[in-house]
Amino acid sequence: PSGGRWEASQERLKRWILGLPRPLGLVAANDLHGLRALDACRRAGVAVPEQVAVVGADDDAEVCELSDPPLSSVAFNPERVGFEAAALLDRLMARKARPRGTFLVPPLAVSPRQSTDILAIDDADVAKAVHYIRRHAFEGITVEDVLDEVPLSRRALEHRFRRRLGRTPKEEIQRLRLDEAKNLLASTDLPLARISDRLGFHQPAYLSAVFKRETGSTPAAYRRNSASKR
């Protein structure tokens, strides 16, 4: 929809979301519909993902990363769908019996982003720290930046953080960056320099060193291995 129709459509979607019991999860038919759901939640004053978690489909990295918050999405396998459809057509043209039941093609992956990044933690300060980290992990933040957000010493935060999550704030920042690096290496053709800059590593060599240390593989090898599995 465009113009007035877009506004009317979003207003209906907003009212529908407000009428649903929360918390809840929404799965959109594609990433653009996912963006519409995020916009409707924003208009309704409904927090994402705390009250409504949203998942799109197609995993268009540019669309998902530029949304606010970044949109989690399901990556389909269109090549496999096309192959199976062609195989079925060939079977039918050869006058063979149609297979019974429904053939399901599993997705390649689910790319989690902030639109579903909700974690139940029974420590308000740790929950606040986790929320800050997950919203800003790709901006080059340090533990000192996290400490500015919570009324705790570094030692107290690390102790309580490890008790709840099994890792330190620094390890959580690094984990999020590496998980997204893996996602971008596997699902895009972005050069390492752009991935490094996007995730707050600043230098490709630093990203490569951290990636190799934590995964045992270089970014290039990880990308080749991921491509071979598609």
Domain 3-75+108-116: give its CATH code.
3.40.50.2300
Host H or E run for residue 73 = strand 72-75
Show me where the domains of the chain are located. Answer: 3-75+108-116, 124-228
Show pLDDT as tens, one digit a residue, over the chain (230 residues): 556 888 999 999 999 999 998 888 999 999 999 999 999 999 998 888 878 999 999 999 889 988 988 999 999 998 999 999 999 999 999 999 888 888 888 898 899 888 998 776 778 899 889 889 988 999 999 999 999 999 999 999 999 999 988 999 999 999 999 999 998 998 889 999 999 999 999 899 999 999 999 999 999 999 998 887 66
Given the candidates 3.10.450.40, 3.40.50.1010, 1.10.10.60, 3.90.1150.10, the CATH classification of the domain at 124-228 is: 1.10.10.60
CB 53 within 8 A of CB 28: no
Distance (Å, whole) CA 212 – CA 59:
26
| Cα gap 89→148, rounded to integer Å | 61
Residue 3 corresponds to which tokens in the numbers above? 């113009």
* pTM > 0.85: yes or no: no
